Amino acid sequence: MDLIKDIDIVSPAEVQACDFKTTEDQNTGKEKKVYIESYGCQMNFSDSEIVASIMKENGYDTTSDLKKADVIFLNTCSIREKAEQTVRNRLNHFNGLKRNKPGMTIGILGCMAERLKEKLLEEEKIVDLVVGPDAYRDLPNLVATAEEGLKAINTFLSREETYGDISPVRLNSNGVSAFISIMRGCDNMCSFCVVPFTRGRERSRDPESILAEARDLWGKGYKEVTLLGQNVDSYKWSPEENNKARLNKKEGEVTEVITFANLLEHVAQVNPLLRVRFSTSHPKDITDEVLHTIKKYDNICKYIHLPVQSGNSRVLELMNRTYDRGWYLDRVKAIRKILGEECGISSDMIAGFCSETVDEHQDTLSLMELVKYDFSYMFYYSERPGTLAAKKYADDIPLETKKRRLAEIIEKQSQISHERNRLDLGKEQIILIEGTSKKSANELRGRNSANKVVIVPGEGLKLGDYVRVKITECSPATLFGEVLEINPSTI
């Protein structure tokens, strides 16, 4: 695996934290064109689909050609310094294009917009409008304001906005898998994280609208949905607080409190051939009820992303993660007990957090050995202005030490990933075909229940097929299989 690059985020999987996605061409006859470039987490890509829907309703088609764009949006991430620098470089490029097309409007959306606000608009003057994650409904008005040469900014953080009534325009869609945002914001105040400041407080989306979106996707031929939230385990919808909690069942209306476990079950019941995934779980909140719900339904994938960040309890306390090493390992033990050893578990790791010692770094490596993660998203600590860590702690670990510790974490994870993948050799698994292999047009790729990529010969297969395969080979990052059955009756 080509894992180490000169960036501050490294991943063995397709991590979006330093990648970006752009819009595809959608020509429905509308006069104007909008180009959207998205950076960061899955939530950002989901938000871009909401933005595309709002702009579509206001006279814009999407385009993948910058030169055709009347409006350019960068949907941004503030989690790491490298991501922000990448966005600044792109803004400079866009401003170069604008010199040849003065009527073009350039806007910055999302977390970086929320964090930097007026600086980008007034001090640096590299954008025409700045819009935070909760203000996308205001985009058409803000674009019109910017076109008149006036200040266009809205970074208001809402306690209510969920965009639950907006049907997203599926961007870069394979027609097989789709995201469904179930909640927004975060109430966890991890000391290293800007999300509570850029996305606001937690609020859960109306369960009826979530189920309606899942049914609509199934009706359109999608075979898999991923329920998204900064902390999905915190999902909660109550008739007292939300005043709309209604789920239709055969025996009548249900008006009780809806937890994440309840919601997960309702989505699984949309259709037994609709695969259900979710991300992200917080170790302090994931319950046995959720684990038993996953076990109950074959179409809920047996995979949990459970970020640990550090294997040392003192560092976890500094990070304000609200759990210690023992608590985390107890949750992993529960996952293994209820869902079995084959359940996929992945994590996030931060190397070189403030004051981390050599022994504390070793605790992270030893925890990785105990848990046996299938894969991890691995970072070295990047101080973000405005966070609790930036205010309270010195960023006192030298960069070279951070990089060395990160390299050790990456090497350890590569070994463990290969070890975990070898356990799959000879086993039969169901995968969902979702694209072409990156290395060969004659091969297709899909994911199994544990979220591992499996490559198979493409003959006779098409996107959206469920395939029973036998795993024949593996690398640290990928499984390879032979096809046994196409579209079996159960998944």
Contacts of 90 (CB under 8 A, 6+ apart): 37, 74
* pLDDT at residue 153, as a whole number: 93
177-422 under CATH 3.80.30.20, yes or no: yes
How far, in Å, CA of 356 to CA of 402, rounded?
10
* Mean pLDDT, residues 282-294: 97
* pLDDT at residue 261, as a whole number: 97
Q: How confident is the model at residue 247 (pLDDT cuts 50, 70, 90)?
A: low
* pLDDT at residue 86, as a whole number: 82
What is the gyration radius of the CA atoms in the chain, in angstroms? Answer: 22
Most confident of 23-37, 172-186, 416-430: 416-430
* pLDDT at residue 6, as a whole number: 28
340 or 118: which carries more pLDDT confidence? 340
* pLDDT at residue 272, as a whole number: 97
Question: Taking CA 263 as the corner, what is the angle to CA 329 and CA 345, rounded to the nearest 5 degrees?
Answer: 30
pLDDT > 90? residue 39: no
**What percentage of the chain carries pLDDT values higher than 70?**
90
Among 272, 302, 273, residue whose Cα is nearest residue 290: 302
Chain segment 331-380, per-residue pLDDT in tens: 999 999 999 999 999 999 999 999 999 999 999 999 999 999 999 999 99
How far, in Å, CA of 398 to CA of 233, rounded?
35
Domain ranges of the chain: 9-154, 177-422, 428-486
Q: How confident is the model at residue 23 (pLDDT cuts 50, 70, 90)?
A: low
* pLDDT at residue 111, as a whole number: 82
Domain at 428-486: CATH architecture: Beta Barrel (2.40)
pLDDT > 90? residue 118: no
**Beta-ladder partners of 376:** 347
Q: Would the CATH topology of 177-422 be identical to that of 428-486?
A: no
pLDDT > 90? residue 399: yes
Chain segment 57-116, per-residue pLDDT in tens: 999 999 999 989 999 999 987 666 677 778 888 988 998 989 888 889 999 998 887 777
Chain segment 308-326, per-residue pLDDT in tens: 999 999 999 999 999 999 9
Per the listing, tokens 């105990």 go with 370
Length of the chain (residues): 491
* Mean pLDDT, residues 14-43: 69
* pLDDT at residue 238, as a whole number: 84
Judge whether 380 and 361 are in contact, CB under 8 Å.
no
* pLDDT at residue 21, as a whole number: 58
Chain segment 172-219, per-residue pLDDT in tens: 789 999 999 999 999 999 999 988 888 889 999 999 999 999 999 999
Across the chain, what does the average pLDDT equal?
89
9-154 under CATH 3.40.50.12160, yes or no: yes
* pLDDT at residue 489, as a whole number: 87
* pLDDT at residue 26, as a whole number: 65
* pLDDT at residue 29, as a whole number: 65
pLDDT > 70? residue 16: no
* pLDDT at residue 79, as a whole number: 65
Reduced 3-state DSSP string for the chain: CCCCCCCCEECCCCCCCCCEEECCCCCCCCCEEEEEEEECCHHHHHHHHHHHHHHHCCCEEECCCHHHCCEEEEEECCCCHHHHHHHHHHHHHHHHHHCCCCCCEEEEEHHHHHHHCHHHHHHCCCCCEEECCCCHHHHHHHHHHHHCCCCEEECCCCCCCCCCCCCCCCCCCCCCEEEEECEECCCCCCCCCCHHHHHCCCEECCHHHHHHHHHHHHHCCCCEEEEECCCHHHCEECHHHHCCCCEEECCEEECCCEEHHHHHHHHHCCCCCCEEEEECCCCCCCCHHHHHHHHHCCCECCEEECCCECCCHHHHHHCCCCCCHHHHHHHHHHHHHHHCCCCEEEEEEEECCCCCCHHHHHHHHHHHHHHCCCEEEEEECCCCCCCHHHHHCCCCCCHHHHHHHHHHHHHHHHHHHHHHHHCCCCCEEEEEEEEECCCCCCEEEEECCCCCEEEEECCCCCCCCEEEEEEEEECCCCEEEEEEEECCCCC
Q: Is the torsion defined by CA of 254, 257, 258, 262 positive or negative?
A: negative
Q: How confident is the model at residue 119 (pLDDT cuts 50, 70, 90)?
A: confident
* pLDDT at residue 197, as a whole number: 86
Task: Report the DSSP pairing between strands 224-228 and 236-237.
Answer: unpaired
13 or 97: which carries more pLDDT confidence? 97
* pLDDT at residue 231, as a whole number: 93
291 or 5: which carries more pLDDT confidence? 291
* pLDDT at residue 28, as a whole number: 66
**What percentage of the chain carries pLDDT values higher than 90?**
71
| Lowest-confidence region among 128-137, 249-258, 465-474 | 249-258
Does the model's pTM come out above 0.95? no
Q: Is the peptide bond before 76 cis (omega within 30 degrees of 0)?
A: no
Judge whether 353 and 320 are in contact, CB under 8 Å.
no
* pLDDT at residue 9, as a whole number: 31
Task: Report the DSSP pairing between strands 375-380 and 9-10.
Answer: antiparallel
Chain segment 126-146, per-residue pLDDT in tens: 899 999 999 999 999 999 999
